Amino acid sequence: MFTAVKPNRIFQDIVDQIQDAILRGQIAPGEKLPPERELKEMFSVSRGTLREALRVLEQKGLIEIQLGVGGGAVVQAVTPEIVADGLSLMIRSLDIPLAHLQEFRTVIETNIARLAAKRATPENIEELRAILQEGMDALDQHAGWEAYVAADAKLHMTLSRITGNAVYEYIQTGIHENINRYYAEFLEHEESVLREHYGDLKAIVDAVESGNEDEAYAAMQAHLRRLGD
């Protein structure tokens, strides 16, 4: 019925005003807010209070501060990191076990594969093939597992983008970034293992290309199951 009363804090009001302006698109990403000494006049507050507001906006990922002449608060496009940061805090704080991350990830990514198979355009397929090639090149040229892993990540991200549903993209990025902290330590980096892994990816792309949703789903599932052993 009623909700707790919070004392009005000036900096919060400033945060709200600026955030609204950004989310309404009145200030586009890349544009700069006026310098602190001007903003403080506009809002009729002290610089300290204004700076507290800017800290909050910066933490939210809405602005980024640059130093020096011509520096200032640059409005940022919303990135998946906002989501990833929240997830990261949750995962660390609750000590989420790897198995739970994998369980969740499997649900997300298998459905991503299914939707990608349903919605991929010929251009999308080309993109996927190009990324596969990058991975294969990395293997053939013994470019190190980092190069291969980068291609792998790119493939997963591209699949999520192909779904056309940004929610998948953002959540997947968040989970991925956090799950990789585990994998980076334990993953096998031997070439034979990586080539098996590559075979999985190729099977997924093949299924997506053929538009076979169930096959794409199954291929992704098999792939993730192999990682979870």
Partner DNA sequence: ATAAGTCTAATGGTTCAACCATTCGAACCG
Partner DNA sequence: CGGTTCGAATGGTTGAACCATTAGACTTAT
Binding-site ranges for DNA (CB under 7 A): 7-11, 35-37, 44-49, 51-52, 54, 65-73
Site for a second copy contains 221 (CB under 8 A): no
| Least distance to DNA, CB of residue 83, Å | 24
- Closest to DNA by CB, 74 vs 96, is 74
| Least distance to DNA, CB of residue 59, Å | 12
H/E segment holding residue 74: strand 72-75
Query: Running DSSP on this structure, what letter comes out for residue 68?
Result: S
In terms of Cβ atoms closer than 10 Å to its own Cβ (0-12, 13-18, 19+), residue 152 is buried
Site for a second copy contains 104 (CB under 8 A): yes
| Least distance to a second copy, CB of residue 41, Å | 19
Give a three-class secondary structure readout of 83-145: HHHHHHHHHHHHCCCHHHHHHHHHHHHHHHHHHHHHHCCHHHHHHHHHHHHHHHHHHHCCCCH
User: Which residue from 112, 104, 122 is spatially nearest to 204, judged by alpha carbons?
Assistant: 112
**Inter-residue contact 40 to 22 (CB < 8 Å):** no
Q: Which of 128-136, 159-167, 180-188, 194-202 is the region at the interface with a second copy (rule: CB under 8 A)?
A: 159-167
What are the residues binding a second copy (CB under 8 A)?
A: 7, 11, 22-23, 48, 51-52, 55-56, 59-62, 67, 78, 80, 82-83, 85-87, 89-94, 96, 100-101, 103-104, 107-108, 111, 165-168, 170-171, 175
